[in-house]
Amino acid sequence: MNSRRLRPKGQRGMVLILIAFIIGLGAAAFMFKMFNASSLQVEQDKQTMLELNAAKQALIAWAVAHPNSPGMMPWPDRNTDLDFDGDSAYDGKSDCVTTTFQPSYLLGQLPWRAQSNPCVMPHTGLGADFRDAQGNRLWYAVSRNLIRDYQNSEYPIINPGMANPPHAVTPYLRQGGTDSYPWLKVLDRNGSLVSDRVAAVIISPGSPLDGQDRSSLAPDASQYLDTVRIGAATFKNSDAALVDEDFIMGEDSRNVSSNDASLNQPYYFNDKLVYITIDELLAVLEKRVGEVARASLKNYQDANGYYPYAAQLGTTTNFACELTTSAMTTGLMAGVLPVNNQSCAYTRTASATTLSCEESIFDASSSGVTSIRFDRTSGGNIANTDSGLCTRNSSTRCTCTGAGTCGNATSRVLCTSLGCSSTGLRGSYRITNGKFRFRSGGCSQNTFPTKTAASCSNSNSVITCNTSDGDLSSCGDISFKNYLPTWFVTNQWQNYVYYQMTRPASATITLGGRTTESAVVTTGRPIISAPFAYLGGAQLTPSCNDVRNYLDSEENADGDMTLDATSKQRATNYNDQTFVVAP
């Protein structure tokens, strides 16, 4: 039998083939491993971003649905023993602080469990324990504008007036008399500003980087959140020293080459971040406000058979029955939503005269009355004494700009925050800066309230009661205030809801292709930068004389009976939202 042995050259060829096969197999395995690692990273990033966005939507929903202060956000869950549970670890609950405020209190983990004291009711959390793809709970920072002040037991005043604060760390006084602060900021990987109108940020910390240790009972924020250097500046997502703190949306270091000269090397960063702007929050909140206004007006009409007259633009009192003619026969069919109902009674006897009002007077935020003058027509002289904010002008005249008295116990005028009365004197009351409607008896309106572009004051509004006996009232409508939830009025949403109706009701207002007897428009924040709204310049509210400071389109602001359709989308220069009341 013949057999052949492989020649040395043939043997070498087989070895080379085998080596090539092994190398190819190893390369394929390496590529397969790299492909799997890359696919895993993509899937993890996708999962994390889905979780971040779900948490964002849950946080907005929690804030907007808050029963006591819609728009308010929870305090973070921090690694502190300041909470009433006495623990020192992250427990999933908000840590509401009653001590002196520090900006660092506004950064922690996203709360999800039911809260505990001192957090006010309702003690509900977000209801879901949101975690990133690596199993870490998400982190959360919130603007000071949107949290309850537990030190002073105050809810935040949340409305569109808070949307445009100045860029300063110190607070300023916005409409309503509450402090407002600059918003948080978000920067991109180059340190450039993405938004300085941030209400809250939610951050995924990812896996620990070099130098981070999360093994202790309560590691601080720096063990989760990352730091980057951009040029000579250092930015830390774990920092919370300022009320307008900035947060970085950096590049994941797994995607950054060590040769990337655009970033400071070595580069370690894997935070993922989403944020909520105040504009996003208000857009959703205004939908709730519009629905509340719509339902409340419908309930009012169902109960009373008519819609309340609107209130004059630019007022802070929001009285209904602001009149458009000196004949006092026509109420406003369009304006801001009415709230207060100043009902006053005027009585006369042989020796006394009384003016008593339901709402406070001598208060610009209530009735707008700044002065009440009493002129004696019969009885004794006013004694030569006065006190408080009342001044005896003569033996027959007393002027009060607040609570006080003129005269003595047997011949005097007494004024309080709810009206004035005389003892031993019969006369008439002259009211300056008020907005009363006198309907019967011995009172008439001598000068009708006027408004100018320069001022929202009613300095020409003067009411005089003559010598006849009689009674008076400011408005014949039932008050609308009791149809609204307390938070609506407390947060002054009536100043940001434009209201148009027909009376008696008839479906003559048109919105798109739909007709209605009454409609409301939430006017949104004033648009103060280009592209401007229909006004063509910065909107300013409150405004006395131009509805274009409230409404953003020609269709809404032209004064006719046609408004934009409820389906019209918001834009940079348009944030009106329209709601049909009925039918």
Q: What is the pLDDT of residues 64-92, one digit of tens each?
A: 999 999 999 999 998 875 444 445 578 88
Cα diameter, the chain: 155
Tens of pLDDT along 142-161?
Answer: 999 999 988 888 899 999 98
Per-residue pLDDT tens digits for 255-299: 888 888 778 888 888 999 999 999 999 999 999 999 999 999 999
User: pLDDT grade, residue 365 (50/70/90)?
Assistant: low
Q: Based on the fold, state whether residues 223 and 371 are members of the same structural domain.
A: no
3-state secondary structure of 103: helix
Q: 483 φ, ψ to 5°? A: -90, -5
- Are 491 and 429 in the same domain? no
Residue 326 and residue 332: Cα distance in Å, rounded?
13
Q: Which of 535, 520, 540 has its CA nearest to residue 574?
A: 535
Question: 6 pLDDT band (50/70/90 cuts)?
Answer: low
In the chain, % of residues over pLDDT 90: 43
Q: Is residue 333 part of a domain?
A: no
Helical (H) or strand (E) element with 26: helix 8-64
Q: Cβ distance 576 to 564 under 8 Å?
A: yes
505 and 554 belong to one structural domain: yes
Domain annotation covers residue 11: no
Query: pTM to 2 decimals?
Result: 0.79
Let me know whether 260 and 309 are in one domain: no
Give the pLDDT of residue 36. 59
Q: Note down the domain range covering 510.
A: 305-313+481-582
Q: Give dist(CA 421, CA 353) in Å, integer.
A: 6
- pLDDT at position 518 is 93
87 within a domain of the structure (yes/no): yes
Is 440 found in the same domain as 489?
A: no
CA 421/CA 516 separation, integer angstroms:
46
In a domain, 3, yes or no: no
CB atoms under 10 Å from CB of 375, counted, come to 18
Strand partners, 346: 355
In a domain, 575, yes or no: yes
Is 18 among the domain residues?
A: no
Number of domains in the chain: 3
388 beta partners:
404
100 and 169, same structural domain?
A: yes
* 495-526 exposure pattern, b = at least 16 Cβ within 10 A, e = fewer: bbbbbbbbbebeeebbbeeeebbbbbbbbbbb
What integer pLDDT is reported at residue 362 of this predicted model? Answer: 80
Do 264 and 355 sit in the same domain of this protein? no
Q: Are residues 107 and 206 in the same domain?
A: yes
Quick one: tokens of 404? 């006080």
Question: 3-state DSSP call for residue 347?
Answer: strand
Boundary-marking domain end, from 420, 440, 465: 465
Q: Are residues 508 and 395 in the same domain?
A: no
Q: Classify burial at 417, counting beta carbons within 10 Å of its beta carbon; exposed 0-12, middle 13-18, buried 19 or more.
A: middle
Give the model's confidence band at 9: pLDDT under 50 very low, under 70 low, under 90 confident, else very high.
low
Task: Look over the chain and give the mean of its residue pLDDT values, rounded to a whole number.
Answer: 81
> Is the domain of 461 the same as that of 485?
no
pLDDT tens, position by position, 166-209: 544 444 444 444 557 889 999 998 899 999 999 999 999 999 98
Report pLDDT for 338.
Answer: 86
Query: Does some domain include residue 101?
Result: yes
Question: How do beta strands 246-248 and 184-187 pair?
Answer: parallel
> Can you tell me the distance from the alpha carbon of 368 to that of 431, in angstroms, rounded to the nearest whole number?
10
Q: Three-state SS for 268?
A: coil
- In this structure, are 71 and 201 located in the same domain? yes
In a domain, 21, yes or no: no
The answer on 564 and 444 residing in a single domain is no
Over residues 488-535, the pLDDT tens digits come to: 999 989 989 999 998 877 778 999 889 999 999 999 999 999 999 999
pLDDT bracket for residue 445 (50, 70, 90):
very low
The structure tokens listed for 109 are: 């983990």
Helix-strand-coil percent breakdown of the chain, rounded to 5? 20, 25, 55
